Amino acid sequence: MQTYSNRHLKLSCVLTFIVLGFLESSWAPMVPYVKARFALDEFSLGLLLICTGIGSFTALPVISMLVGRYGCRLIASLSALILASCLVLLSVVSQLYLCALLLFGFGAATIGIDVAVNVNAVIVEAKLRRPLMSGFHGGYSLGALLGSATVSFMLTLGLSLFTNVSCVFVLMLTTIFWCGRALVSASEVKAYEAEQPKPDAPQNRPQGGLLMRLLQVPRLIVLVGISCFIMYAIEGSIMSWSGVFATQERQMSLERAGFIFSAFAIAMTLMRFMGNRIVLMLGRRRTVMLGTLFVALGYGITVAIPHVYGTVLGFMCIGFGAANIVPQWVSFAGGVKGYPVHDTIAFINALGYSGLLIGPVLIGFFAELFSLSAVFVGIGACALVVGLMADRIIKDETYAA
């Protein structure tokens, strides 16, 4: 790590976040194609999409151990290779069970890059002694925007799905293997962890096995976790269902449906790069509450205006609102006393990825019973619940920069 300049350390981390967002969002324009290829209804598609969440949730503890043993550099690079390979194979696979297995691998590899690059970001931020996390996560949003827009644009040019994702494969792997040289190694991860102080005195730490530790989670952190569960489910469902809504409810072509997710990604990217400034002006509580109002408004516009422009505007509102909600919940939970920070973040992430796991299948189930538009109205109402929880729980309205 010492052989690279501060600029290279930051650039490498940002580019890895961009690769993660690019590869993950490249899947969004592919969903309608997979739905049509296997002639799936909404509920069946939801069951298929749950494989991604299962892969993510299953890989979470394994990846944490691997990052500690082998470092961020190796795990991020190998995960990117697996993730890009899954995308290529998903473009041509003709057996439904193979598609499910590939989505499982897709979810596991996504977690691999996610955990590795976030650990890397923490270490780089500590080394440079500057608040850099918002900019790093802004890189993820920028990658998500570029990935969805690039794949959608190439599809409108008439390129086959296989050719499309093969170009993504080459571009992203070239990027990750170039920038990955400046990610931290296993020895640097161990050195950083050895320098950290003990989280709490033994008598203040949760005791017992995993079940006992979960039972001792403070009620406040549980409520924060529930809020993150809802928001993760909302964000994940947009990636999985925005293209389906555009083609099914607004009669957009398969080639152009991916631009709906791009509208969401553009809005989220802009707001994440502006997030710290907004929190300084409004405070954490008002930022979360205003964000949930925008999310609910966006779903209302999407359903109420039966035109593609209304859909674009609605998803942009959702992106504006959702951008800074989860980061502020995590920031708030990290300051809760009486429970170790690493256990707090692990608990919140576990509930968050549970939202990614359960959200798509619930949407498919209720869309089959009612309609996708009706489900979107319900999701908007859930966002308002998060805002009400923020009003009751978050009392500190200032942000400590």
Query: Does 166 lie in the same domain as 76?
Result: yes
pTM of the model: 0.70
Query: Does 112 lie in the same domain as 15?
Result: yes
Core vs surface per residue 199-231: b (16+ CB within 10 A) or e: eeeeeeebeeeeeebeeebbebbebbbbbbbbb
Q: Helices 372-393 and 284-304 meet at what angle, rounded to 10?
A: 170
In a domain, 204, yes or no: no
Query: Does 225 lie in the same domain as 93?
Result: no
Spatial contact of 335 and 209, defined as CB atoms under 8 Å apart: no
In a domain, 203, yes or no: no
Question: Of 142, 167, 194, which closes a domain?
Answer: 194
In a domain, 35, yes or no: yes
Q: What is the C-alpha separation between 365 and 372, in angstroms, rounded?
A: 10
Query: Does 274 lie in the same domain as 356?
Result: yes
Query: Does 89 lie in the same domain as 227?
Result: no
Counting Cβ atoms within 10 Å, is residue 365 exposed (0-12), middle (13-18) or buried (19+)? Answer: middle
Query: Does 171 lie in the same domain as 81?
Result: yes
In a domain, 200, yes or no: no
Query: Does 215 lie in the same domain as 149?
Result: no
In a domain, 247, yes or no: yes
Counting DSSP H helices and E strands in the chain, the numbers are 15, 0
Q: What is the C-alpha separation between 360 and 50, in angstroms, rounded?
A: 6
Question: Of 170, 194, 218, which closes a domain?
Answer: 194
Question: Of 161, 194, 227, which closes a domain?
Answer: 194
Considering just the CA atoms, what is the radius of gyration of the chain in Å?
20
Q: Give DSSP secondary structure letters for 185-223.
A: BHHHHHHHHHHSPPSS-GGGS--SSHHHHHHTS-HHHHH
pLDDT of residue 390: 92
pLDDT of residue 194: 67
Query: Does 250 lie in the same domain as 295?
Result: yes
Spatial contact of 163 and 60, defined as CB atoms under 8 Å apart: no
User: What sign does the dihedral 146-321-217-283 (CA atoms) show?
Assistant: positive
Question: In this structure, what CATH number is given to the domain that contains residue 31?
Answer: 1.20.1250.20
pLDDT of residue 144: 80
What tens digit of pLDDT does each residue of 195-204 get? 655 444 444 4
Spatial contact of 284 and 293, defined as CB atoms under 8 Å apart: no
In a domain, 66, yes or no: yes
Would you give per-residue pLDDT tens digits along the chain (401 residues)? 446 777 888 889 889 989 998 888 888 788 888 888 898 887 888 788 888 878 887 887 788 778 878 888 898 999 999 999 999 999 889 899 999 999 999 988 988 888 788 778 777 877 877 656 667 778 888 888 788 788 888 888 888 888 888 888 898 888 888 888 888 887 877 776 666 554 444 444 445 444 445 556 778 888 988 998 999 888 877 877 888 888 888 888 877 777 787 788 788 888 888 877 787 788 878 989 999 999 999 999 999 998 888 999 999 999 999 988 887 787 777 566 766 545 666 677 677 777 876 787 788 888 888 888 899 999 999 999 999 999 989 875 443 44
pLDDT of residue 290: 95
Q: Helices 219-248 and 325-334 meet at what angle, rounded to 10?
A: 170
pLDDT of residue 201: 46
Total domains in the fold of the chain: 2
Query: Does 353 lie in the same domain as 244?
Result: yes
What residues make up the domain containing 84? 1-194
In a domain, 202, yes or no: no
In a domain, 201, yes or no: no
Query: Does 306 lie in the same domain as 188?
Result: no
CA distances from 209 to 60, 206, 212, 213, 376 (A): 18, 9, 5, 6, 39
Query: Does 226 lie in the same domain as 186?
Result: no
pLDDT of residue 199: 46
Query: Does 347 lie in the same domain as 267?
Result: yes
